[in-house]
Structure 1
Amino acid sequence: MATLNEQLETLIKEYSPCDVSDALIKLQKTPEGSTARAGYLADLVPFSPVTGRNETTPKIAAPATTFKFIPKSSSPPPLATENPEKHGFQPGKHWVDHVGSYAASDPSGAGSIVVIEQPEGQYCAVTGGIMATRMKALGIKATVVGGRVRDLRELQATGLPIWAQATSTVGTNAEAKAGARDVPISIGGVTVSPGDIIFCDPLEGVVAIPRELLGQVLELMPKLIAMDDQAKEAVAQGMSVTDAFKKFRS
Protein backbone atom coordinates (compact mmCIF):
# COMPACT_ATOMS: atom_id res chain seq x y z
CA MET A 1 0.00 0.00 0.00
CA ALA A 2 1.26 3.47 -0.87
CA THR A 3 2.34 5.75 1.94
CA LEU A 4 0.61 9.07 2.51
CA ASN A 5 3.56 10.93 1.02
CA GLU A 6 3.41 8.73 -2.08
CA GLN A 7 -0.33 9.34 -2.38
CA LEU A 8 0.19 13.10 -2.08
CA GLU A 9 2.91 13.01 -4.73
CA THR A 10 0.54 11.18 -7.10
CA LEU A 11 -2.24 13.66 -6.36
CA ILE A 12 -0.02 16.64 -7.15
CA LYS A 13 1.61 15.18 -10.28
CA GLU A 14 -1.39 13.62 -11.98
CA TYR A 15 -4.59 15.37 -10.91
CA SER A 16 -6.36 18.67 -10.41
CA PRO A 17 -8.90 19.84 -7.81
CA CYS A 18 -11.58 19.45 -10.51
CA ASP A 19 -10.73 15.74 -10.74
CA VAL A 20 -11.00 15.50 -6.95
CA SER A 21 -14.42 17.15 -6.87
CA ASP A 22 -15.68 14.83 -9.61
CA ALA A 23 -14.65 11.88 -7.45
CA LEU A 24 -16.09 13.32 -4.23
CA ILE A 25 -19.43 13.90 -5.96
CA LYS A 26 -19.55 10.14 -6.45
CA LEU A 27 -18.17 9.14 -3.05
CA GLN A 28 -19.70 11.54 -0.55
CA LYS A 29 -23.27 11.30 0.65
CA THR A 30 -25.00 14.68 0.54
CA PRO A 31 -27.63 15.22 3.25
CA GLU A 32 -31.14 15.53 1.86
CA GLY A 33 -32.01 19.11 1.02
CA SER A 34 -28.39 20.30 0.91
CA THR A 35 -26.06 21.05 -1.99
CA ALA A 36 -23.01 18.95 -2.76
CA ARG A 37 -19.84 20.96 -2.23
CA ALA A 38 -17.49 18.13 -3.26
CA GLY A 39 -14.66 19.46 -1.15
CA TYR A 40 -14.43 22.83 -2.89
CA LEU A 41 -13.31 25.65 -0.57
CA ALA A 42 -15.04 28.49 -2.37
CA ASP A 43 -13.75 31.92 -3.35
CA LEU A 44 -10.13 31.42 -2.31
CA VAL A 45 -7.36 33.00 -4.36
CA PRO A 46 -3.57 33.06 -3.96
CA PHE A 47 -2.06 36.14 -2.27
CA SER A 48 1.47 34.77 -1.81
CA PRO A 49 4.02 34.24 -3.24
CA VAL A 50 2.12 35.97 -6.07
CA THR A 51 -1.35 37.45 -6.20
CA GLY A 52 -4.00 35.85 -8.40
CA ARG A 53 -4.60 32.58 -10.21
CA ASN A 54 -1.49 31.46 -12.03
CA GLU A 55 0.43 28.56 -13.56
CA THR A 56 3.84 29.63 -12.29
CA THR A 57 3.67 28.41 -8.68
CA PRO A 58 3.47 24.71 -7.78
CA LYS A 59 0.54 22.69 -6.54
CA ILE A 60 0.67 21.70 -2.87
CA ALA A 61 -1.04 18.97 -0.85
CA ALA A 62 -0.71 18.14 2.84
CA PRO A 63 -2.82 17.35 5.93
CA ALA A 64 -4.73 20.20 7.53
CA THR A 65 -4.05 21.72 10.91
CA THR A 66 -7.11 23.80 11.73
CA PHE A 67 -7.77 27.03 13.62
CA LYS A 68 -11.20 28.39 14.43
CA PHE A 69 -11.41 32.14 14.99
CA ILE A 70 -14.34 33.65 16.88
CA PRO A 71 -15.66 37.17 17.53
CA LYS A 72 -13.50 39.10 19.97
CA SER A 73 -16.29 39.24 22.57
CA SER A 74 -17.15 35.51 22.41
CA SER A 75 -16.07 32.75 24.76
CA PRO A 76 -13.91 29.92 23.39
CA PRO A 77 -15.71 26.71 22.36
CA PRO A 78 -16.01 24.08 25.14
CA LEU A 79 -13.47 21.83 23.41
CA ALA A 80 -10.81 24.51 23.83
CA THR A 81 -11.51 25.10 27.52
CA GLU A 82 -12.01 21.46 28.45
CA ASN A 83 -8.86 20.27 26.67
CA PRO A 84 -6.59 23.31 26.33
CA GLU A 85 -3.43 21.28 25.72
CA LYS A 86 -4.92 19.77 22.57
CA HIS A 87 -7.53 22.26 21.37
CA GLY A 88 -6.83 25.51 23.22
CA PHE A 89 -3.93 27.91 23.64
CA GLN A 90 -1.42 27.78 26.42
CA PRO A 91 -1.09 30.90 28.59
CA GLY A 92 1.53 33.28 27.29
CA LYS A 93 1.73 31.50 23.94
CA HIS A 94 0.38 33.14 20.77
CA TRP A 95 -1.96 31.05 18.63
CA VAL A 96 0.51 30.98 15.75
CA ASP A 97 3.12 29.32 17.96
CA HIS A 98 0.87 26.22 17.99
CA VAL A 99 0.76 25.74 14.21
CA GLY A 100 3.44 23.06 14.16
CA SER A 101 1.81 20.88 16.82
CA TYR A 102 -0.31 18.75 14.49
CA ALA A 103 2.50 17.94 12.07
CA ALA A 104 4.79 17.07 14.98
CA SER A 105 2.27 14.48 16.21
CA ASP A 106 1.44 13.05 12.77
CA PRO A 107 3.54 9.92 12.09
CA SER A 108 3.16 10.34 8.31
CA GLY A 109 5.74 13.09 8.22
CA ALA A 110 3.74 14.80 5.47
CA GLY A 111 3.84 18.22 7.12
CA SER A 112 0.75 20.37 7.25
CA ILE A 113 -1.25 23.21 5.75
CA VAL A 114 -2.79 25.69 8.17
CA VAL A 115 -6.52 26.18 7.54
CA ILE A 116 -8.29 29.06 9.29
CA GLU A 117 -12.00 29.73 9.70
CA GLN A 118 -12.90 33.38 10.28
CA PRO A 119 -16.43 34.45 11.30
CA GLU A 120 -18.50 35.71 8.39
CA GLY A 121 -19.02 39.44 8.06
CA GLN A 122 -15.72 40.46 9.63
CA TYR A 123 -13.44 42.99 7.97
CA CYS A 124 -10.22 42.49 9.92
CA ALA A 125 -7.40 40.18 8.86
CA VAL A 126 -6.61 37.00 10.78
CA THR A 127 -3.19 36.50 9.19
CA GLY A 128 -0.49 39.09 8.51
CA GLY A 129 3.22 39.41 8.04
CA ILE A 130 4.35 38.34 11.50
CA MET A 131 2.07 35.29 11.50
CA ALA A 132 3.23 34.24 8.04
CA THR A 133 6.87 34.64 9.05
CA ARG A 134 6.32 32.42 12.10
CA MET A 135 4.46 29.79 10.08
CA LYS A 136 7.29 29.69 7.56
CA ALA A 137 9.82 29.27 10.36
CA LEU A 138 7.79 26.37 11.79
CA GLY A 139 7.81 24.52 8.46
CA ILE A 140 4.19 25.03 7.43
CA LYS A 141 3.70 24.17 3.75
CA ALA A 142 0.88 26.64 3.01
CA THR A 143 -1.89 28.63 4.66
CA VAL A 144 -5.55 28.69 3.63
CA VAL A 145 -7.69 31.44 5.18
CA GLY A 146 -11.46 31.36 5.02
CA GLY A 147 -11.42 35.10 5.59
CA ARG A 148 -9.00 38.01 5.25
CA VAL A 149 -5.24 38.59 5.26
CA ARG A 150 -3.08 41.72 5.26
CA ASP A 151 0.54 42.88 4.80
CA LEU A 152 0.74 41.47 1.28
CA ARG A 153 4.32 42.59 0.64
CA GLU A 154 5.40 40.88 3.85
CA LEU A 155 3.39 37.76 3.05
CA GLN A 156 4.99 37.51 -0.38
CA ALA A 157 8.46 38.12 1.06
CA THR A 158 8.12 34.93 3.13
CA GLY A 159 7.50 32.83 0.01
CA LEU A 160 4.84 30.93 1.97
CA PRO A 161 1.89 29.96 -0.27
CA ILE A 162 -1.13 31.75 1.18
CA TRP A 163 -4.72 31.55 -0.02
CA ALA A 164 -7.56 33.73 1.28
CA GLN A 165 -10.96 35.07 0.36
CA ALA A 166 -10.05 38.76 0.67
CA THR A 167 -7.72 41.31 2.22
CA SER A 168 -7.83 43.99 4.93
CA THR A 169 -5.67 46.72 6.41
CA VAL A 170 -7.04 46.07 9.92
CA GLY A 171 -5.39 43.79 12.46
CA THR A 172 -7.06 40.77 14.03
CA ASN A 173 -7.61 42.34 17.44
CA ALA A 174 -10.22 44.75 16.07
CA GLU A 175 -12.83 42.00 15.72
CA ALA A 176 -11.50 38.49 16.13
CA LYS A 177 -9.44 36.12 18.23
CA ALA A 178 -8.32 32.51 17.98
CA GLY A 179 -10.91 30.32 19.66
CA ALA A 180 -9.77 26.73 19.14
CA ARG A 181 -7.25 24.63 17.25
CA ASP A 182 -7.27 21.18 15.69
CA VAL A 183 -11.06 21.03 15.65
CA PRO A 184 -13.46 20.67 12.71
CA ILE A 185 -14.03 24.00 10.97
CA SER A 186 -16.17 25.15 8.05
CA ILE A 187 -15.21 27.11 4.95
CA GLY A 188 -17.89 27.78 2.35
CA GLY A 189 -20.08 25.02 3.79
CA VAL A 190 -17.29 22.43 3.63
CA THR A 191 -16.16 20.87 6.89
CA VAL A 192 -12.40 20.53 7.27
CA SER A 193 -11.19 18.26 10.05
CA PRO A 194 -7.62 18.00 11.33
CA GLY A 195 -5.69 15.66 9.06
CA ASP A 196 -7.95 16.08 6.03
CA ILE A 197 -5.94 16.55 2.86
CA ILE A 198 -5.83 20.09 1.50
CA PHE A 199 -4.97 20.29 -2.20
CA CYS A 200 -4.06 23.76 -3.49
CA ASP A 201 -3.79 24.34 -7.23
CA PRO A 202 -2.82 27.95 -8.08
CA LEU A 203 -4.93 27.83 -11.24
CA GLU A 204 -7.96 25.68 -10.36
CA GLY A 205 -8.52 26.35 -6.65
CA VAL A 206 -8.49 24.55 -3.31
CA VAL A 207 -10.25 21.34 -2.25
CA ALA A 208 -10.40 19.41 1.00
CA ILE A 209 -10.37 15.61 0.86
CA PRO A 210 -11.55 13.73 3.95
CA ARG A 211 -8.50 11.73 5.06
CA GLU A 212 -10.46 8.46 5.06
CA LEU A 213 -11.52 8.99 1.43
CA LEU A 214 -8.11 9.78 -0.05
CA GLY A 215 -7.44 6.21 -1.21
CA GLN A 216 -10.87 5.91 -2.81
CA VAL A 217 -10.48 9.29 -4.51
CA LEU A 218 -7.13 8.27 -6.00
CA GLU A 219 -8.61 4.97 -7.17
CA LEU A 220 -11.68 6.54 -8.79
CA MET A 221 -10.15 9.55 -10.54
CA PRO A 222 -8.39 7.64 -13.37
CA LYS A 223 -11.67 5.95 -14.30
CA LEU A 224 -13.57 9.25 -14.38
CA ILE A 225 -10.83 10.97 -16.38
CA ALA A 226 -10.83 8.15 -18.93
CA MET A 227 -14.59 8.52 -19.36
CA ASP A 228 -14.25 12.27 -19.85
CA ASP A 229 -11.43 11.80 -22.36
CA GLN A 230 -13.64 9.49 -24.40
CA ALA A 231 -16.49 11.99 -24.24
CA LYS A 232 -14.23 14.88 -25.34
CA GLU A 233 -12.90 12.87 -28.25
CA ALA A 234 -16.42 11.96 -29.33
CA VAL A 235 -17.57 15.59 -29.10
CA ALA A 236 -14.52 16.69 -31.11
CA GLN A 237 -15.57 14.20 -33.81
CA GLY A 238 -19.06 15.70 -34.01
CA MET A 239 -21.11 13.83 -31.39
CA SER A 240 -23.45 15.97 -29.31
CA VAL A 241 -22.60 16.49 -25.66
CA THR A 242 -25.87 14.84 -24.65
CA ASP A 243 -25.06 11.71 -26.64
CA ALA A 244 -21.45 11.67 -25.45
CA PHE A 245 -22.52 11.90 -21.81
CA LYS A 246 -25.09 9.16 -22.35
CA LYS A 247 -22.55 6.87 -23.99
CA PHE A 248 -19.50 7.45 -21.80
CA ARG A 249 -20.75 8.85 -18.49
CA SER A 250 -23.91 6.90 -17.78
Structure 2
Amino acid sequence: MTTESLAIDPAIRDALQSVSTATLTTVLLKHGLRNVWLRGTRPLAPGLPRIVGRAFTLRFVPAREDLATPASWASPISTRAAIEAMPAGCVAVVGALGVTDAGIFGDILCARMQKRGVAALVTDGVVRDVAGVLQTGLPVWCQGTAAPPSVAGLTFVGWQEPIDCGGVAVFPNDVIVVDQDGAVLIPAAMLADVVAASVEQERLEGWIMEEVDRGTPLPGLYPPNEENKARYAAWRAGQGVS
Protein backbone atom coordinates (compact mmCIF):
# COMPACT_ATOMS: atom_id res chain seq x y z
CA MET A 1 0.00 0.00 0.00
CA THR A 2 1.43 3.36 -0.99
CA THR A 3 1.07 6.72 0.73
CA GLU A 4 -0.64 9.62 -1.00
CA SER A 5 1.74 12.41 -2.00
CA LEU A 6 1.19 15.76 -0.32
CA ALA A 7 2.11 19.19 -1.62
CA ILE A 8 4.42 21.44 0.37
CA ASP A 9 3.20 24.83 1.56
CA PRO A 10 4.90 27.40 -0.71
CA ALA A 11 5.65 29.62 2.30
CA ILE A 12 7.48 26.77 4.04
CA ARG A 13 9.37 25.91 0.86
CA ASP A 14 10.42 29.53 0.39
CA ALA A 15 11.54 29.82 4.02
CA LEU A 16 13.65 26.66 3.84
CA GLN A 17 15.33 27.77 0.62
CA SER A 18 17.11 30.39 2.74
CA VAL A 19 18.30 27.80 5.29
CA SER A 20 21.44 25.71 4.78
CA THR A 21 21.51 21.98 5.45
CA ALA A 22 24.28 22.69 7.97
CA THR A 23 21.92 24.93 9.93
CA LEU A 24 19.16 22.35 9.69
CA THR A 25 21.32 19.62 11.21
CA THR A 26 22.09 21.91 14.16
CA VAL A 27 18.43 22.79 14.69
CA LEU A 28 17.35 19.16 14.40
CA LEU A 29 20.06 18.18 16.89
CA LYS A 30 18.53 20.65 19.35
CA HIS A 31 15.21 18.88 18.74
CA GLY A 32 16.81 15.54 19.60
CA LEU A 33 17.45 14.20 16.07
CA ARG A 34 21.03 13.24 15.18
CA ASN A 35 20.53 10.96 12.18
CA VAL A 36 19.06 13.22 9.50
CA TRP A 37 21.89 13.68 6.95
CA LEU A 38 21.59 11.16 4.10
CA ARG A 39 25.06 9.67 3.69
CA GLY A 40 26.48 9.47 0.19
CA THR A 41 24.21 12.14 -1.28
CA ARG A 42 26.54 14.50 -3.10
CA PRO A 43 25.63 16.88 -5.93
CA LEU A 44 26.32 15.28 -9.29
CA ALA A 45 27.15 18.66 -10.84
CA PRO A 46 28.69 21.81 -9.34
CA GLY A 47 26.58 24.85 -8.64
CA LEU A 48 23.24 23.15 -8.03
CA PRO A 49 20.80 25.38 -6.15
CA ARG A 50 19.29 24.59 -2.76
CA ILE A 51 16.10 22.60 -3.34
CA VAL A 52 13.21 21.83 -0.97
CA GLY A 53 10.43 19.32 -1.48
CA ARG A 54 8.36 16.50 -0.07
CA ALA A 55 9.96 13.08 -0.28
CA PHE A 56 8.59 10.66 -2.86
CA THR A 57 10.27 7.40 -1.90
CA LEU A 58 11.45 4.46 -4.02
CA ARG A 59 12.92 1.25 -2.61
CA PHE A 60 15.40 -1.25 -3.96
CA VAL A 61 16.45 -4.51 -2.30
CA PRO A 62 19.42 -6.72 -3.23
CA ALA A 63 19.26 -8.28 -6.68
CA ARG A 64 17.64 -11.70 -7.01
CA GLU A 65 18.24 -13.40 -10.32
CA ASP A 66 14.63 -14.38 -11.00
CA LEU A 67 13.39 -10.82 -10.35
CA ALA A 68 16.21 -8.47 -11.33
CA THR A 69 15.96 -8.87 -15.11
CA PRO A 70 15.53 -6.45 -18.02
CA ALA A 71 12.00 -7.86 -18.39
CA SER A 72 11.14 -6.39 -14.97
CA TRP A 73 11.35 -2.90 -16.44
CA ALA A 74 7.93 -3.51 -18.06
CA SER A 75 6.34 -4.74 -14.81
CA PRO A 76 3.52 -2.78 -13.13
CA ILE A 77 5.92 -2.51 -10.17
CA SER A 78 8.82 -0.79 -11.86
CA THR A 79 10.81 2.41 -11.73
CA ARG A 80 8.94 3.45 -14.87
CA ALA A 81 5.57 3.13 -13.15
CA ALA A 82 6.86 4.92 -10.05
CA ILE A 83 8.01 7.90 -12.11
CA GLU A 84 4.51 8.27 -13.56
CA ALA A 85 3.16 8.59 -9.99
CA MET A 86 5.57 11.38 -9.01
CA PRO A 87 3.90 14.76 -8.49
CA ALA A 88 5.48 18.00 -9.64
CA GLY A 89 7.67 19.56 -6.99
CA CYS A 90 8.52 16.34 -5.15
CA VAL A 91 12.04 15.16 -4.36
CA ALA A 92 12.48 11.56 -5.48
CA VAL A 93 14.40 9.78 -2.70
CA VAL A 94 15.73 6.38 -3.73
CA GLY A 95 16.99 3.83 -1.23
CA ALA A 96 19.62 1.86 -3.16
CA LEU A 97 21.46 0.20 -0.24
CA GLY A 98 24.55 2.24 -0.99
CA VAL A 99 25.24 0.10 -4.07
CA THR A 100 27.77 1.84 -6.30
CA ASP A 101 28.23 -0.65 -9.17
CA ALA A 102 24.70 -0.51 -10.64
CA GLY A 103 23.09 2.73 -11.83
CA ILE A 104 19.54 3.13 -10.56
CA PHE A 105 18.45 5.61 -13.27
CA GLY A 106 19.84 6.74 -16.62
CA ASP A 107 19.21 9.62 -18.95
CA ILE A 108 15.78 8.53 -20.26
CA LEU A 109 14.27 8.05 -16.81
CA CYS A 110 15.76 11.31 -15.57
CA ALA A 111 14.44 13.12 -18.64
CA ARG A 112 10.93 11.86 -17.88
CA MET A 113 11.24 12.98 -14.26
CA GLN A 114 12.33 16.41 -15.41
CA LYS A 115 9.33 16.61 -17.76
CA ARG A 116 7.02 15.72 -14.87
CA GLY A 117 8.40 18.60 -12.81
CA VAL A 118 10.26 16.54 -10.22
CA ALA A 119 12.40 18.94 -8.20
CA ALA A 120 15.39 16.65 -7.66
CA LEU A 121 16.63 13.06 -7.44
CA VAL A 122 18.37 12.01 -4.22
CA THR A 123 19.89 8.56 -3.71
CA ASP A 124 22.57 6.74 -1.76
CA GLY A 125 23.30 4.85 -4.99
CA VAL A 126 24.62 5.96 -8.37
CA VAL A 127 23.29 6.91 -11.80
CA ARG A 128 24.34 5.83 -15.30
CA ASP A 129 24.49 7.58 -18.68
CA VAL A 130 25.91 10.53 -16.78
CA ALA A 131 26.40 12.81 -19.80
CA GLY A 132 22.76 12.37 -20.74
CA VAL A 133 21.58 12.75 -17.15
CA LEU A 134 23.37 16.08 -16.89
CA GLN A 135 21.80 17.23 -20.15
CA THR A 136 18.28 16.60 -18.80
CA GLY A 137 18.72 19.41 -16.28
CA LEU A 138 17.34 17.27 -13.45
CA PRO A 139 19.26 18.12 -10.25
CA VAL A 140 20.80 14.91 -8.86
CA TRP A 141 22.44 14.08 -5.55
CA CYS A 142 24.09 10.63 -5.47
CA GLN A 143 27.34 8.73 -4.84
CA GLY A 144 28.56 8.97 -8.42
CA THR A 145 28.18 6.97 -11.61
CA ALA A 146 28.36 3.40 -12.90
CA ALA A 147 27.74 1.91 -16.33
CA PRO A 148 25.79 -1.29 -15.38
CA PRO A 149 21.97 -1.07 -15.09
CA SER A 150 20.11 -1.34 -11.79
CA VAL A 151 19.26 -5.02 -12.27
CA ALA A 152 22.97 -5.85 -12.17
CA GLY A 153 22.87 -5.31 -8.43
CA LEU A 154 19.38 -4.33 -7.27
CA THR A 155 15.71 -5.32 -7.41
CA PHE A 156 13.08 -2.58 -7.44
CA VAL A 157 10.17 -3.39 -5.11
CA GLY A 158 7.98 -0.34 -4.57
CA TRP A 159 7.36 3.34 -3.98
CA GLN A 160 5.80 5.67 -1.44
CA GLU A 161 6.68 3.52 1.56
CA PRO A 162 9.29 3.96 4.30
CA ILE A 163 12.84 3.43 3.07
CA ASP A 164 16.44 3.52 4.21
CA CYS A 165 18.46 6.05 2.25
CA GLY A 166 21.99 6.75 3.36
CA GLY A 167 21.32 5.22 6.76
CA VAL A 168 18.34 7.49 7.44
CA ALA A 169 14.71 6.41 7.78
CA VAL A 170 12.77 8.34 5.15
CA PHE A 171 8.98 8.30 5.13
CA PRO A 172 6.81 9.56 2.28
CA ASN A 173 6.07 13.28 2.62
CA ASP A 174 8.96 14.00 4.96
CA VAL A 175 10.66 17.17 3.75
CA ILE A 176 14.06 16.98 2.05
CA VAL A 177 16.44 19.92 1.72
CA VAL A 178 19.50 19.54 -0.53
CA ASP A 179 22.42 21.83 -1.16
CA GLN A 180 26.19 21.58 -1.66
CA ASP A 181 26.56 19.77 1.70
CA GLY A 182 24.15 16.99 0.73
CA ALA A 183 20.61 16.05 1.73
CA VAL A 184 18.89 16.54 5.10
CA LEU A 185 15.53 15.18 6.20
CA ILE A 186 12.94 17.06 8.28
CA PRO A 187 10.24 14.77 9.72
CA ALA A 188 6.85 15.91 8.46
CA ALA A 189 5.41 16.13 12.00
CA MET A 190 8.18 18.52 13.11
CA LEU A 191 8.14 20.78 10.09
CA ALA A 192 6.59 23.96 11.53
CA ASP A 193 8.80 24.03 14.63
CA VAL A 194 11.97 23.27 12.66
CA VAL A 195 11.27 25.93 10.04
CA ALA A 196 10.71 28.65 12.64
CA ALA A 197 13.85 27.70 14.58
CA SER A 198 15.94 27.38 11.42
CA VAL A 199 15.00 30.80 10.07
CA GLU A 200 15.90 32.34 13.43
CA GLN A 201 19.19 30.41 13.57
CA GLU A 202 20.16 31.72 10.12
CA ARG A 203 19.31 35.26 11.24
CA LEU A 204 21.43 34.88 14.38
CA GLU A 205 24.38 33.45 12.46
CA GLY A 206 24.15 36.28 9.95
CA TRP A 207 24.51 38.75 12.82
CA ILE A 208 27.41 36.76 14.25
CA MET A 209 29.18 36.86 10.88
CA GLU A 210 28.80 40.64 10.84
CA GLU A 211 30.39 40.75 14.28
CA VAL A 212 33.25 38.50 13.14
CA ASP A 213 33.84 40.84 10.21
CA ARG A 214 34.15 43.67 12.75
CA GLY A 215 36.83 41.73 14.60
CA THR A 216 34.78 40.54 17.57
CA PRO A 217 36.44 37.55 19.32
CA LEU A 218 34.54 34.24 19.20
CA PRO A 219 34.36 33.42 22.94
CA GLY A 220 31.02 34.71 24.17
CA LEU A 221 29.94 35.44 20.59
CA TYR A 222 29.51 31.97 19.15
CA PRO A 223 27.50 30.79 20.96
CA PRO A 224 26.44 34.16 22.36
CA ASN A 225 26.64 34.87 26.07
CA GLU A 226 24.04 36.97 27.88
CA GLU A 227 25.68 40.24 26.86
CA ASN A 228 25.74 39.30 23.18
CA LYS A 229 22.22 37.88 23.37
CA ALA A 230 21.08 41.30 24.55
CA ARG A 231 23.01 43.00 21.74
CA TYR A 232 21.46 40.63 19.21
CA ALA A 233 17.97 41.26 20.61
CA ALA A 234 18.52 45.00 20.20
CA TRP A 235 19.71 44.44 16.63
CA ARG A 236 16.60 42.35 15.88
CA ALA A 237 14.37 45.08 17.25
CA GLY A 238 16.17 47.61 15.07
CA GLN A 239 15.50 45.39 12.06
CA GLY A 240 11.79 45.30 12.91
CA VAL A 241 11.85 41.58 13.70
CA SER A 242 9.22 40.67 16.27
TM-score, normalized by the shorter chain, greater than 0.5: yes
1:147-194 deviation per Cα after TM superposition (whole angstroms, max 9, x unaligned)? 111101110121111111121111111111212211111223222110
Please say if residues 43 and 140 of structure 2, whose CA atoms lie closer than 8 Å, have aligned partners that are also in contact: yes
Q: CA RMSD in A?
A: 2.7
Establish whether residue 124 from structure 1 lines up as the match of residue 102 from structure 2.
yes
Q: SS of the residue aligned with 2:37?
A: coil
- CA drift of 1:92 comes to 4.2
Establish whether residue 59 from structure 1 lines up as the match of residue 59 from structure 2.
no
Larger Rg belongs to: 2
Q: SS of the residue aligned with 2:38?
A: coil
1:7 to 1:180, Cα distance in 2 relative to 1, 3 A? same
Query: Which residue is equivalent to 2:133?
Result: 155
Q: When the two structures are superposed, what TM-score results if normalisation uses the length of structure 1?
A: 0.74
Query: Which residue is equivalent to 1:40?
Result: 37
Please say if residues 57 and 93 of structure 2, whose CA atoms lie closer than 8 Å, have aligned partners that are also in contact: yes
5+ residue gaps, structure 1, are: 31-35, 77-88, 104-109
- CA drift of 1:216 comes to 0.9
- CA drift of 1:195 comes to 0.5
1:17-38 deviation per Cα after TM superposition (whole angstroms, max 9, x unaligned)? 22222211112x34xxxxx23x
Please say if residues 176 and 186 of structure 2, whose CA atoms lie closer than 8 Å, have aligned partners that are also in contact: yes
1:158 to 1:102, Cα distance in 2 relative to 1, 3 A? closer
5+ residue gaps, structure 2, are: 1-7, 68-72, 230-242
Q: SS of the residue aligned with 1:8?
A: helix
Match among 21, 26, 35 for residue 22 of structure 1: 26
Query: Which residue is equivalent to 1:174?
Result: 152
Please say if residues 96 and 135 of structure 1, whose CA atoms lie closer than 8 Å, have aligned partners that are also in contact: no
Establish whether residue 206 from structure 1 lines up as the match of residue 203 from structure 2.
no
1:79-109 deviation per Cα after TM superposition (whole angstroms, max 9, x unaligned)? xxxxxxxxxx994453222234253xxxxxx
1:226 to 1:98, Cα distance in 2 relative to 1, 3 A? closer
- CA drift of 1:139 comes to 2.7
Distance 1:134 1:229 in 2: 39
- CA drift of 1:237 comes to 4.8
1:246 to 1:156, Cα distance in 2 relative to 1, 3 A? closer
Q: What percentage of aligned pairs have identical amino acids?
A: 25
Q: When the two structures are superposed, what TM-score results if normalisation uses the length of structure 2?
A: 0.76
1:200-245 deviation per Cα after TM superposition (whole angstroms, max 9, x unaligned)? 22x3332121112221112112332343344444545555433322
